[in-house]
Amino acid sequence: MFDCIVVGAGPAGGTAAYHLAKRGRSVLVLEKASLPRYKPCGGGVSPAVAQWFDFDFSPAISLKVNTIRYTWDMGDPVEAELKVADPIWMVRRDVFDHFLIQQAQKQGAELRQETEVQGIEFKRDHWQVKTNQDPVAGRYLIAADGAKGNMAKWLGFKDRKRRMGGALEAEAITSIQNGHMAHFEFGMVKNGYIWNFPKADGYSIGIGTFRGGEPQNLREIVSQYSTLFGVDFKAIQQYGHPLCLWDGNQTLHTQNAVLAGEAACVVDPFTAEGIRPSMFSGLKAAEQIDRALGGDIDALEHYTQIIQAEWGSDMLWAQRLAGVFYRVPKVGYRLGVKRPSATQKFGKILSGELRYGDIAGSAIKKLSGGLMPGFGK
């Protein structure tokens, strides 16, 4: 009988396992793949996550980015240097996720790979988990099995508040032109953007749409964009995947269980940043399950309240900003992205120095003013 079973070895699951094990709790992580495993993801990580751990992430960082380059329809470029204490980390998810799990294992967490959860059942005071291997039991569960996982449904979260987005990505192993610059393209795709994040030995190129709308040929669009970097996107393995974007507050706890990471729909609805919020949810899940194991009967309810207050309240502003920006992206590019202060504010949001609530009101006013002359002056 484990104190807690964590389903999924991504950033949320790894973070939760590390912090629970560090507190002396018995933790089992169930991962259906064999680690390290490839995970399609741009791999941009805010260095702010380091404050939640007491070890050095350097072995898991491919390189660091201190400059961002924006384009509109592959032209009208803007380059800006990030003036933050620590540049944005660029990571490969197979390396990063495995490294985090290894730190949890050092604290005593147990990992079972190639172990797929096939069903769950609550029995009096614990969860019985059926897998393709042996069944296991745990007093508490953390569902961190991502956007496509079954755990949320099995736990009874049938009508979650979430906005679904989608992404298509590929990893290009090639000599890179500028290893310390991240690229964003806003004019070629509706309701989203294209990105090119450098790694030590190539690029992670992807395209995402975050607000629905008419169908678009994402493969053709991103293939055209990739030619800027000498990359034949169609010639390399591509991965499509859904995104569970935050779409308002929702309950994230049930009987002896919580949702974390993309299973909790914590992805930023404006930027689609997912790693930092996933790790934050894993941290808070660990803290509250530790309290529950210590006898606090309200701990899991507090978990929902904490995520709503410390993440969801700011995501409301991100949602409002996304609603305006992606409706009029050309205005947003001209009045927002191209402003010298925009990248600095963006960098500070990623680093945790600023919140959307600090800037979204004025940004929305400027964008609305660009649509309706005389408004917002």
Pick from 259, 223, 260, 265: nearest CA to 242: 265
Mean of pLDDT values over 326-344: 88
Q: List the single range of 34-38, 46-50, 356-360 with lowest mean pLDDT.
A: 356-360
- pLDDT at residue 170, as a whole number: 94
- pLDDT at residue 373, as a whole number: 38
Q: List the single range of 5-19, 48-62, 253-267, 318-332 with lowest mean pLDDT.
A: 318-332
Percent of the chain with pLDDT over 90: 76
pLDDT in tens, 3-26: 999 999 999 999 999 999 999 999
- pLDDT at residue 370, as a whole number: 54
- pLDDT at residue 164, as a whole number: 82
Q: Is the model more confident about 347 or about 273? A: 273
- pLDDT at residue 222, as a whole number: 96
Give the sheet arrangement for strand 88-90, strand by strand: 44-45, 88-90, 63-65
pLDDT, averaged across the chain: 92
When pLDDT is cut at 50, 70 and 90, the band that residue 189 belongs to is very high
φ/ψ of 20, rounded to 5, equals -70, -45
Q: Is the model more confident about 214 or about 168? A: 168
pLDDT higher than threshold 60 for residue 374: no
pLDDT higher than threshold 60 for residue 375: no
pLDDT in tens, 98-118: 999 999 999 999 999 999 999
- pLDDT at residue 349, as a whole number: 85
Model's pTM, two decimal places?
0.94
